[in-house]
Structure 1
Amino acid sequence: MTNALTESLKKLFLGEETEKIGKFIFSEETWIHVGILAIRIAIIIAISIIAVQVGKYIIRKIFRIKLKGPIRKEERREQTLLKLLENTLSYVVYFSAILAILQEFNIDVKGLLAGAGVLGLAVGFGAQSLVKDVISGFFILFEDQFSVGDYVQIGTAEGMVEEIGLRTTKIKNFTGEIFILPNGTIAQVVNYSMKNSLAIVDVAIPFELGVEKVEKSIDAFLKSMSKNNPDLLGKPKLIGAHDFTEDSVIERIIAETRPMRHFDIARNISMGVKKHLEQEGIEIPYPTLVSKSFNNQ
């Protein structure tokens, strides 16, 4: 009698629709279905994460094996391709996971993809800059204009390339700023890392010291400097008189270095020459570093 009265009161105060909702919410079958759905979604997410991690491990393993092989491309290009492949793998796997989750909710994925294709076509006409960025990014990678780890100058942005995507390029300045450049805006690139660099130091030798004597002393120091210095490619060269002043001759020293190591090598040569000559009792003005960057082509 009490149960019948309770049911009558429910129908009276809650209505039939509310009663249906209540039955659905508090139904055991509903919660079983929700639990199964949650477990399946969790499995999809877990599988996608594992697939990405395993895929990235395999890609890195392949590149490590390739690095040890006799036939290989430049390391800078390999690092760029490695990063791009890892990002592409993540996009593909996670996009597939999203589609699988939508299917679990009985959403028509085929119709959704067809609609997205039509929408993408319409958006494409209004997103020409995006298309330009993607095409430019493809040619940057295809032509190997620059790679991750290169030191470049693009417009006012100068620094190390942190990341290259199909749409944007990220450059980190030596003070920490990150420049994010749409690839379509990159019109001219100065790449300092593609070839070996050239360090240049000018030394002023007063005439009264005896130019030949000082030259022999500098040359002896340069020979000793070339030992155990991996950034130097060969012995620095004293190429002789470069210019003259009223009381001195300007001697120029050049040294081929690894890419972007010419600044440090030039400073080492400058300070080393000064100290070496002082030890031999020869006083000269501090050598002049040529601040302009050179690349040995």
Structure 2
Amino acid sequence: MYAPVDNLADEQLLPFRPACADDPGSWCATFFQLTNSDVLAQSADTIVSTTLHIVLIVAVALLVRYLLHRAINRVVDGATSTRLTRLTSRLPRNPTPADSPRSVQRARTIGSVLRSIASAVVLVVASIMVLAEFGVNLGPILASAGIVGVAVGFGAQNLVRDFLSGMFMLLEDQYGVGDIVDLGEASGVVEAVGLRITTLRDVGGTVWYVRNGEILRVGNKSQGYAVAVVDIPVAHSADVADATELAGRAAQERLAEKDLAAQVLGEVQVLGVERIATEGITLRLTVKVQPGQQFAVQRALNAAITDAFDGAGVPRPAVFPAPPTAPAQ
């Protein structure tokens, strides 16, 4: 007589079978058959649709990211291609050997930044869409993110300014790796150009890390061309006309030699008397040279003109004039 009770207990131990489980081929029936759970079976359609939507969102996000990166890479490759170099070489400008590497570096740096921005935007949008699929209320999240963004913006405004300044410096091609620049407090050869920091090394070997947002002015001594300026001191008793002619002839002969001929972009300009002081007269000549080569050319011309003056017996001042100092700011 206890059998009905036992059967009732056994029936109570069995899981509840939802009505949708009797529909053959439905997700409800499939989930109930696999998991024997009425909760999962009743939520089968929602689980499947949400999963498919999330997979679709992720797939589309990856596809969009791939297409954006590919488009950016094509633009960068086009900017650094030989065809574009040939086209830009026809423009009325003074091309230099440093233009092409600097353009390549600038294009690649900007391309890297654009790829990072594209990836971040795609990730944020995809994350918001996935959260929406889970039924998350995005209003408070977006409001909180806005407040946090404003707080971070106030705290990191110097960082943002550095990044924006770095972007404009790259776009405007103010300087590149290998250029000799004067950034105000620091000057030297640029070793690296980043979006936040510019690294340069001065003549003493010191490496300077300059924040792009702190750069108020840039003096580029290597862009386009450079000018070698040679000042030659002579005594008051010297024949200025003969000394000027001799300096120009010696400079022209030295620049025609093989080691300097490739660095010269123009004729020697003999400017004549530059300064008259109590200790003597200073003659000046200039010559347009390849960017960054002005100092080597100056040293070579100084040596050649000194030898020419010594050979011709041109009198030199007993005390060489000190170089003029910049006025106090």
Shorter-normalised TM-score: what interval? 0.5 to 0.7
2:162 is aligned, of 133, 137, 157, to: 133
Cα displacement string for residues 202-249 of structure 1 (whole angstroms, at most 9, x for unaligned residues): 223346665444443333222223436233232222222334467854
Alpha-carbon distance between aligned partners in 1 of 2:166 and 2:120, rounded to the nearest angstrom? 22
Gaps of 5+ in 2: 1-61
Name the SS for the 1:69 alignment partner. Answer: helix
Cα displacement string for residues 125-159 of structure 1 (whole angstroms, at most 9, x for unaligned residues): 443333333443444445x2713233322232222
Q: 1:186 to 1:126 in 2, by over 3 A?
A: same
Q: 1:215 to 1:118 in 2, by over 3 A?
A: closer
**Alignment partner, residue 191 of structure 1:** 220
Question: Displacement, 1:179?
Answer: 0.8
1:274 is aligned, of 306, 309, 320, to: 306
Name the SS for the 2:267 alignment partner. Answer: coil
User: Is the 8 Å Cα contact of residues 227 and 288 (structure 2) preserved in structure 1?
Assistant: yes
1:242 and 2:274 are equivalent in the alignment = yes
**Alignment partner, residue 181 of structure 1:** 211
1:170 is aligned, of 194, 198, 206, to: 198
1:217 and 2:226 are equivalent in the alignment = no
Question: Displacement, 1:61?
Answer: 5.4
Name the SS for the 1:241 alignment partner. Answer: strand
1:148 and 2:180 are equivalent in the alignment = no
**Alignment partner, residue 112 of structure 2:** 87
Question: Displacement, 1:91?
Answer: 1.8
Q: 1:188 to 1:218 in 2, by over 3 A?
A: closer
Q: Which amino acid aligns with 2:103?
A: E
Superposition TM-score, scaled by structure 1 size: 0.59
Alpha-carbon distance between aligned partners in 2 of 1:283 and 1:58, rounded to the nearest angstrom? 61
Alpha-carbon distance between aligned partners in 2 of 1:288 and 1:235, rounded to the nearest angstrom? 27
C-alpha RMSD of matched pairs (Å): 4.7
Percent of residue pairs bearing the same amino acid type: 17
Gaps of 5+ in 1: 1-44
Aligned residues: 243
Cα displacement string for residues 268-290 of structure 1 (whole angstroms, at most 9, x for unaligned residues): 11001123344x45365599799
Alpha-carbon distance between aligned partners in 1 of 2:254 and 2:164, rounded to the nearest angstrom? 47
1:160 and 2:189 are equivalent in the alignment = yes
Question: Displacement, 1:82?
Answer: 1.2
Q: 1:155 to 1:221 in 2, by over 3 A?
A: closer
**Alignment partner, residue 255 of structure 1:** 287
**Alignment partner, residue 78 of structure 1:** 103
**Alignment partner, residue 63 of structure 1:** 80
Q: Which amino acid aligns with 1:217?
A: L
Superposition TM-score, scaled by structure 2 size: 0.54
1:120 and 2:152 are equivalent in the alignment = no
For residues 15-54 of structure 1, what are the structure 2 equivalents within 5 Å?
Answer: none
Alpha-carbon distance between aligned partners in 2 of 1:96 and 1:257, rounded to the nearest angstrom? 47
User: Is the 8 Å Cα contact of residues 234 and 282 (structure 2) preserved in structure 1?
Assistant: yes
Q: 1:209 to 1:182 in 2, by over 3 A?
A: closer
User: Is the 8 Å Cα contact of residues 205 and 284 (structure 1) preserved in structure 2?
Assistant: yes
Cα displacement string for residues 15-36 of structure 1 (whole angstroms, at most 9, x for unaligned residues): xxxxxxxxxxxxxxxxxxxxxx
Question: Displacement, 1:52?
Answer: 7.0
Alpha-carbon distance between aligned partners in 2 of 1:236 and 1:153, rounded to the nearest angstrom? 26
**Alignment partner, residue 42 of structure 1:** none
User: Is the 8 Å Cα contact of residues 280 and 321 (structure 2) preserved in structure 1?
Assistant: no
Alpha-carbon distance between aligned partners in 2 of 1:89 and 1:182, rounded to the nearest angstrom? 19
User: Is the 8 Å Cα contact of residues 279 and 320 (structure 2) preserved in structure 1?
Assistant: no
Question: Displacement, 1:267?
Answer: 0.7
User: Is the 8 Å Cα contact of residues 80 and 164 (structure 1) preserved in structure 2?
Assistant: no
1:205 and 2:234 are equivalent in the alignment = yes
Larger mean Cα displacement after TM superposition, 55-64 or 251-260:
55-64
Larger Rg: 2
